[in-house]
Amino acid sequence: MKLFGTISLTAVLMAAGFAAAAEIPRNERRSGYTFMAPDTQTIQDDDTANPGMLWVLDGESLWKRKAGAAGKSCSDCHSDANTSMKGVAARYPAFDKTLGRPVNLEQRINLCRARHQEASPIAYESRDLLALTAFVAEQSRGMAITLDTTVELQPFVAKGRDFFMKRQGQLNLGCTNCHDDNWDKHLAGSAVTQALPTGYPIYRLEWQSMGSLQRRLRNCITGIRAQNYDYGAPELVELELYLMSRAAGMPIETPGVRP
Amino acid sequence: MASALINVPKKAKRGDVIEIKTLMSHIMETGYRHTAAGQVVPRDIITSFTCRYNGEEIFRADLFPAIAANPFITFFTIATESGKFDFEWIGDNGFSEKASATISVE
Amino acid sequence: MRKSEGSTRRQFLGIAGTAAAIGTIPVVSLRPVAATPETMTAAIRNVIGSAAVRIGKVKLDVPPLVENGNTVPMTITVSSPNTAEDHVKSIHVFNEKNPQPNIGNFYLGPRAGRGQVSTRIRLADSQKITAIARMSDDSLWSATADVVVTLAACTEEVI
């Protein structure tokens, strides 16, 4: 049934012609939250009912846990997260001068572990990394997404935008075909959103667990039957960077709940 | 590691009907899933949840695989006296977690 | 009776060989063999006996079209004076198409103050849910709700 829905949507998109996809005008942007049923919105709104908060609380403990050969915890350098981490998630992915490329929040945490804690990286999508990312991102809840406008970042934003726009995969679909041209329509019973990642990491009902933006992107890429990328791949980070720039000015909602 | 989120009002008037909300971290593996190799992923769920108010059971639930992951259960009770709520979750593979919250009733 | 028991067992064994959902463990996705209204009736009888069940007093709140079958918010409210003499003893919830007919049993009692319970459940397919409340005088009241469940788009499975 899902495949049928996908095929019929493709037919519609191809029949509609290859109209140049335009980005959504700023005043028409809506968070994925607004596409959810009221019952699901309630799950996100209530901190004591939001399963994502379980990961935020885990992250709070991990923040204080000493790690690595240096025997330091996050709090040893950054002390209280709700002061030091305020606004951080709202400007990620950010440019890392040493690497000469953008990194997302998960990679930043692992870079800190390597450079300052002399600890091994935490695996992508592991409970610990999701917990720390959720805890750090939650400190920016309510703050507007504001990416650096540094010149170095721009070529990467452009690469991310190109990825978003290009048709790929067996279904020959670009992200823009659904998320710019057909948002608020439905794909197999799910609302098509505007691809504005305001709540990551999210508790996705489909996963029954917390997951990162890259996990969601890999789902989408599987959905259009295109060649997928590994976690942490530069293409995925560039796409994250572009998506966050799409959402510039919108408030962070972490921990978000999404269907 | 935090396992449970409990929401109990800190204060209440005697006779008030208060709502208690609980959220417990648990995968609630149904026992109906299979790996790509064809093996059953064995069942691993919370089977029972109990709440005691100053030692007396005021609410109990039997849970089945149809309860969603990270079980969220809310219920009501009459605030009768100041004291402690004790929550207990028991499940497969010897799963046992406890939590508590206090309330002041005037 | 024996005939329905036999078919229940056959269906149960058939169901045990099928997967229900996708997760981070690589799993094979097959549409689950549906349990039937008969298994639900048998499960109800198991839990509450053969006493008569009347329709009423119970309000079953489920979204008619669920966002995702993995997590469906459900609230059951039973109207009752909620006194020591007249209250809700227990609430039992059943479904007809999940691999198993029971969803949960909730035991309230005279100290509840309100006959209301909320939780989140899993529904494998569009189906009917039944909630049965046992009152302090052992009378039984029920309500049903029809829920439409669709598959999520953009999952992790690769067909």
Q: Residue C95: which CATH number?
A: 2.60.40.2470
Q: DSSP code of B86?
A: E
Helix, strand or coil, per DSSP, at residue C9: helix
Helix, strand or coil, per DSSP, at residue C43: helix
Q: Nearest to residue B89, comparing CAs of B27, B31, B10, B34?
A: B27
Active-site choice (A74, A77, A175, A220): A220
B69-105 pLDDT, tens digit per residue, is: 999 999 999 999 999 999 999 999 999 999 999 999 9
Catalytic-residue membership of A77 = no
pLDDT at C123: 92
Interface test with C, best of B25, B56, B62 (most C CBs within 10 A): B62
* C-alpha count within 13 angstroms, C-beta hemisphere, residue C76: 33
CB atoms within 10 A of CB A166: 12
pLDDT at B44: 96
* C-alpha span between A78 and A91 (Å, rounded): 17
Owner of token pair 């041209």: A181
Residue C17 lies in domain: 2-149
Owner of token pair 């997260």: A81
- C75 touching A, CB under 8 A? no
- Chain B residue set in contact with C, beta carbons under 8 Å: 17-18, 30, 32-36, 38, 40-41, 53, 56-69, 71-78, 80
From the list A54, A58, A61, the residue facing B23 with the nearest CB is A54
Q: Do C99 and B30 touch (CB under 8 A)?
A: yes
Domain count of the fold of chain B: 1
- C30 touching A, CB under 8 A? no
Sign of CA dihedral A249, A251, A255, A258: negative
- A49 touching B, CB under 8 A? yes
Query: Would B69 be classed as within a structural domain?
Result: yes
Sign of CA dihedral A235, A236, A241, A247: positive
B16-55 pLDDT, tens digit per residue, is: 999 999 999 999 999 988 888 888 999 999 999 999 999 9
Query: C105 near B50, Cβ under 8 Å?
Result: no
CATH value at residue B100: 2.60.40.10
Structural tokens at position C6: 């036999």
- C108 touching B, CB under 8 A? yes
Q: Do A189 and C153 touch (CB under 8 A)?
A: yes
Average pLDDT over residues C63-85: 92
Tell whether the model's pLDDT for residue B6 goes beyond 80: yes
Confidence of residue C35 (pLDDT cuts 50, 70, 90): low
What are the CA-CA distances from residue A154 to residues A102, A159, A191, A248 (Å)? 10, 9, 31, 14
Contact residues, C window 4-43, toward B, CB-based 8 Å cutoff? 15-16, 18-21, 23, 25-28, 32
| φ, ψ for residue A171, nearest 5 deg | -90, 0
3-state secondary structure B21-52: EEEECCCCECCCCEECCCCECCCECEEEEEEE
From the list A48, A49, A58, the residue facing B1 with the nearest CB is A58
The predicted complex's ipTM stands at 0.94
Sheet with B72-78, edge to edge strand ranges: B4-7, B17-24, B72-78, C115-121, C72-78, C58-61
Structural tokens at position B23: 């959220």
Share of residues in chain C with pLDDT > 70 (%)? 73
CATH number for the domain running over A29-259: 1.10.760.10
Owner of token pair 């709090």: A75
Element (H, E) at C41: helix C37-48
Average pLDDT over residues C116-132: 94
CB atoms within 10 A of CB A135: 26
From the list A49, A60, A209, the residue facing B23 with the nearest CB is A49
Chain C's closest residue to B67, CA to CA, is C121
Residues of B within 8 A of C111 (CB-CB) are 53, 56, 58, 77-78, 80
Residues of B within 8 A of A61 (CB-CB) are 1-2
From the list B1, B3, B7, the residue facing A48 with the nearest CB is B7
Q: Do B70 and A57 touch (CB under 8 A)?
A: no
pLDDT at A102: 96
* C-alpha span between A254 and A237 (Å, rounded): 19
CB atoms within 10 A of CB A70: 14
Tell whether the model's pLDDT for residue C133 goes beyond 80: yes
Query: Would B73 be classed as within a structural domain?
Result: yes
Residues of B within 8 A of C66 (CB-CB) are none
Domain count of the fold of chain C: 1
Estimate the crossing angle of helix A127-138 against helix A52-63, to 10 degrees: 90
Confidence of residue C119 (pLDDT cuts 50, 70, 90): very high
Antiparallel, parallel or unpaired: β C115-121 and B72-78: antiparallel
Query: Would B65 be classed as within a structural domain?
Result: yes
Query: Would B37 be classed as within a structural domain?
Result: no
- C153 touching A, CB under 8 A? yes
- C121 touching B, CB under 8 A? yes
What are the CA-CA distances from residue A192 to residues A13, A100, A119, A169 (Å)? 14, 35, 40, 19
Residue B65 lies in domain: 4-30+43-105
* C-alpha span between A2 and A209 (Å, rounded): 22
A59-75 pLDDT, tens digit per residue, is: 999 999 999 999 999 99
Task: State which residues of chain A have pLDDT below 70.
Answer: 1-21
pLDDT at C33: 53
Q: CA of B104, closest CA in chain C: separation in Å?
A: 17
Q: DSSP code of C3?
A: H
Query: A22 near A180, Cβ under 8 Å?
Result: yes
- A158 touching C, CB under 8 A? no
Helix, strand or coil, per DSSP, at residue C157: coil
From the list C26, C108, C119, the residue facing B72 with the nearest CB is C119
Confidence of residue C148 (pLDDT cuts 50, 70, 90): very high
Contact residues, A window 53-92, toward B, CB-based 8 Å cutoff? 53-54, 57-58, 60-61
Structural tokens at position A104: 């997302």
Q: Do A1 and C73 touch (CB under 8 A)?
A: no
From the list B5, B25, B27, the residue facing A48 with the nearest CB is B5
Helix, strand or coil, per DSSP, at residue C16: helix
DSSP string, chain A: -HHHHHHHHHHHHHHT--PPP-PPPGGG---GGGGS-HHHHHHHH-TTT-THHHHHHHHHHHHT--BTTTTB-HHHHH--HHHHTTTTGGG-SEEETTTTEEE-HHHHHHHHIIIII--PPPPTT-HHHHHHHHHHHHTTBTPBP-----GGGHHHHHHHHHHHHS-BTTTTB-HHHHHTTSTTSEETTEEP------S-SEEETTTTEEE-HHHHHHHHHHHTT-----TT-HHHHHHHHHHHHHTTTSBB-PSEEE-
CB atoms within 10 A of CB A235: 14
